[in-house]
Amino acid sequence: MRIDLHTHSNRSDGTDPVDVLIRHARQAGLDVIALTDHDTADGWPEARLAAEELGIGFVPGLEISCKLNGISVHLLSYLPDPSYPPLAKDLQIIRAGRNDRIPTIVARLNSIGVPLTVDEVLAQATGTPSVGRPHVADALVANGTVANRTEAFDRYLADGRAGHVAHYALEPGRAIDLVREAGGVPVIAHPWGRSSYKVMTEETIGRLVDDHGLAGIEVDHQDHSPESREALRAIARNLGIIYTGSSDHHGAGKIDHDLGVNSTEPEQLERLLEVAKTNAAASVGHVPEAYLP
């Protein structure tokens, strides 16, 4: 049983259309895949159809943009009702903030001599309601400024570089509350990844569990060293929460993130589905179901 609980389609900053992503998951030998686009559930209906057609398990999810003390933190959210009004409203505000910052990013890059227009960025983000820095990167590749997304981030877009402009994001405790109210299961993505390691201490993770009902943390992720994975697994066990593993696949957009490169143990998915059942029962919303053939 191979389970990958964190992937992106071109509904956010992955490069593959939803149906292609699901087909690739089948070809990679996966039995269950979660679609977790940034701040949007747009791809769910199409993903479910493709999964049913191919006989592969599908768990609907989101990766919600959060910020703690100014540091970006991502919250994976499995099986919430995305139309639960307070959650839908905040997701809408986050997506608007993503769009609104594009002219600022372009102006900043122009000011250091990098040629780029807003239209060039938007041309890379057709069909997505969730524009991100990777689309800016794709525009810089398309106009010949850089060779690939990685070079774009390294030179211009990584945190602290000229083209990094923060966007509106939720406080993690608030996002966890919303996801649970919407009947979903909140799991911190790559807690010791690129930026969040600065704020996601064992103490903070414990506080999010105690005060907000955080259900789990992502442990097996390419941003985590073998030592970090073991330490995080020990933290999850100490706190009695779920630990997951996943690729964080972005299609051709991210190297070393192939589908299934990390996976989630079946017992951990079972626990996750149990929490989903409990949270769904307490929720007033129309909570989606996983498709598990």
Number of residues engaging ligand AMP in binding (CB under 6 A): 11
CB of 39 to Zn ion, least distance (A): 11
Asked if residue 40 lies in contact with residue 64, where contact means CB atoms within 8 angstroms, the answer is no
Q: Is the Cβ of residue 150 or residue 228 nearer to ligand AMP in the bound state?
A: 150
How buried is residue 85: exposed, middle or buried, by Cβ count under 10 Å (0-12/13-18/19+)?
Answer: exposed
Q: Is 132 in the site for ligand AMP (CB under 6 A)?
A: yes
Quickly list DSSP for 42-97.
TTHHHHHHHHHHHT-EEEEEEEEEEEETTEEEEEEEES--TT-HHHHHHHHHHHHH
The tokens of 190 are what? 């790559």
CB of 112 to ligand AMP, least distance (A): 19
Q: Is the Cβ of residue 16 or residue 116 nearer to Zn ion in the bound state?
A: 16
CB of 287 to ligand AMP, least distance (A): 26
Neighbours of 283 (CB within 10 A): 17
CB of 160 to ligand AMP, least distance (A): 12
Q: Is 254 in the site for ligand AMP (CB under 6 A)?
A: yes
Integer angstrom CA distances of residue 221 from 1, 193, 230, 260: 18, 8, 12, 11
Q: What's the distance, Cα to Cα, between the start and end of the chain in Å?
A: 12
CA angle 122, 128, 131 (to 5 degrees): 55
CA angle 193, 277, 275 (to 5 degrees): 35
Residue 153 contact partner, candidates Zn ion, Fe ion, ligand AMP, none, CB within 5 to 8 A by sort of partner: ligand AMP
**One of 11, 24, 38, 190 touching ligand AMP (CB under 6 A):** 38
**Contact region with Zn ion (CB under 5 A), list: 62-70, 149-157, 197-205, 232-240:** 62-70
User: What are the beta bridge partners of residue 245?
Assistant: 220
Site string for Fe ion, 177-216 (x = CB under 5 A): ------------x---------------------------
Q: Is 13 in the site for Fe ion (CB under 5 A)?
A: yes
Residue 75, CB-side half-sphere exposure with 13 Å CA sphere = 32
Q: Is 248 in the site for Zn ion (CB under 5 A)?
A: yes
Q: Is 153 in the site for ligand AMP (CB under 6 A)?
A: yes
Q: Is the Cβ of residue 90 or residue 248 nearer to Zn ion in the bound state?
A: 248
**Contact region with Zn ion (CB under 5 A), list: 84-92, 230-238, 242-250, 265-273:** 242-250
Name the 3-class secondary structure at 186: strand
Q: Is 31 in the site for Zn ion (CB under 5 A)?
A: no
Q: Which residues bind Fe ion (CB under 5 A)?
A: 13, 74, 189
Q: Which residues bind ligand AMP (CB under 6 A)?
A: 13, 38, 132-134, 149-150, 153, 158, 250, 254
